[in-house]
Amino acid sequence: MKKIIFSLFIGLACSVANASSDDEIGLARLSSMVQSFSILSYQGVFVRSQGEDMNSMKIRHGIIGESEYESLIDLDGDKIEVIRVDNSVICVYPDISFANTATPVSAPLRQFKELNGERLLEGYSFKLSKKKELIAGREAEKLSLIPKDAYRFGHEFWLDAENNFLLKHDTLGAQGKVLDRVQFTDISFSPALKKSDFVPRLGTYSRHLVEVKPKMTDNKWHFEWLPDGFAPVWRDARILNERTAMLLLSDGITSISVFVEPTTEVKPYSVMEMGSTTVGEVSRSLQTDILRLTIVGEVPEQTVEKMLMSFAPRTTL
């Protein structure tokens, strides 16, 4: 874990050579924020809102002995819990029947663990506010990521003034409209956590989640247009099943998933938006095949549409 954190810090530090002072400070603060997720002990409750949907979650994290412990409990509905000890993950459900239909909860903080400073500087400008605000009873400083074009959303991070922990994050659309928000309502950085705090509750059903190494295949496609800073995360395509392949792109903070599946049905372009997430789909004739293309990402609708129309087969592999 320390090696990963050190590599991330070096990667961000090397990206600031030609950056402005605000960009340098912003990248350094983001690097410290990412480190804080892993090295600090904390316990708190945060609220996540996406469009009209809202739910609250309890998170606990600590280094006990030589291991990293983390748990995430959905406080609304059926209180699904995810427990992680180092790389071992257990999902806890009310009972076995519920486990067959429920989707595991995910920690929104983990989406920022793969920041890429070089790509971030292509797509965003940084602005750090000198005014301190109170979030969950703690002083916080706001760091804004201002998009350089209309093909990505803006971001505002409220970082703990003492340890750079992320206390609040807003994803912003046009005219500064808040599309998604994650905000702590209560947080402690000195919890008395024990191993017994990370044991599945009595009477529940527990399932170990084993991350299977994905099968990969040659990436036969490319995009004739991408927003500045966006690039493939994987060189190859990931095989999801016998028919569907997946590509992944990122601008250093935002990911876009692309699903490619052969079809016999020609379908016009359609789009659905929920909060900051946009899902676009279209069927296109490419060479001798008809492909159903689906893009899912936290980007504006115009980005999804333009990417779908610029999707093309490679002339050479």
Question: Does residue 268 have a pLDDT over 70?
Answer: yes
Reading the block at residue 100, the tokens are: 């067959």
Q: Given phi > 0 = left and psi -120 to 50 = alpha, else beta, which region is 290? A: beta
Burial class of residue 210, CB neighbours in 10 A (0-12, 13-18, 19+): exposed
Query: How far apart are the two ends of the chain, measured CA to CA in Å?
Result: 35
pLDDT of 10 above 70: no
Is residue 164 predicted with pLDDT exceeding 60? yes
Mean pLDDT of 85-111: 79
pLDDT at 7 exceeding the cut of 70: no
Report pLDDT digits (tens) over 107-129.
777 788 778 888 999 999 999 99
Q: Quote the pTM value.
A: 0.87
Annotate 150-199 with DSSP letters as a single string. Answer: SSS-EEEEEEETTT--EEEEEEE-GGG-EEEEEEEEEEES-----GGGGS
Rounded distance, CA 272 to CA 278, Å?
Answer: 6
Give me the mean pLDDT over the 263-292 stretch.
Answer: 92
- Can you give the pLDDT at residue 138? 97
User: Whole-angstrom Cα distance, residue 262 to residue 271?
Assistant: 19
More confident residue, 33 or 106: 33
pLDDT of residue 273: 94
- How sure is the predictor about 19, in pLDDT bands with cuts at 50, 70 and 90? low
Report whether pLDDT(15) > 60: no
Higher pLDDT, 254 or 210: 254
pLDDT for 4: 41
User: Using one digit for the tens of pLDDT, what is the confidence trace for 138-163?
Assistant: 999 999 999 999 999 999 999 999 99
% pLDDT > 70, the chain: 91
pLDDT tens figures, 211-221: 778 899 899 89
The chain-wide mean pLDDT, for the chain, equals 88
Q: What is residue 316's predicted lDDT score, i.e. its pLDDT?
A: 60
Q: How confident is the model at residue 18 (pLDDT cuts 50, 70, 90)?
A: low
Categorize the per-residue pLDDT at 6 as very low, low, confident or very high, splitting at 50, 70 and 90. very low
Q: How far apart are CA 143 and CA 167, in angstroms?
A: 12
pLDDT, residue 198, reads 95
Q: How confident is the model at residue 104 (pLDDT cuts 50, 70, 90)?
A: low
Backbone angles phi, psi at 35, to 5 degrees: -60, -40
pLDDT at 287 over 80: no
User: How much is the average pLDDT of 233-237?
Assistant: 93
Give yes or no for residue 53 having a pLDDT over 90: no
Owner of token pair 């036969």: 220
Is residue 82 predicted with pLDDT exceeding 90? yes
pLDDT, tens digit, for every residue of 174-191? 889 999 999 999 999 999
Domains identified in the chain and CATH numbers:
2-209 (2.50.20.10), 215-313 (3.30.200.100)
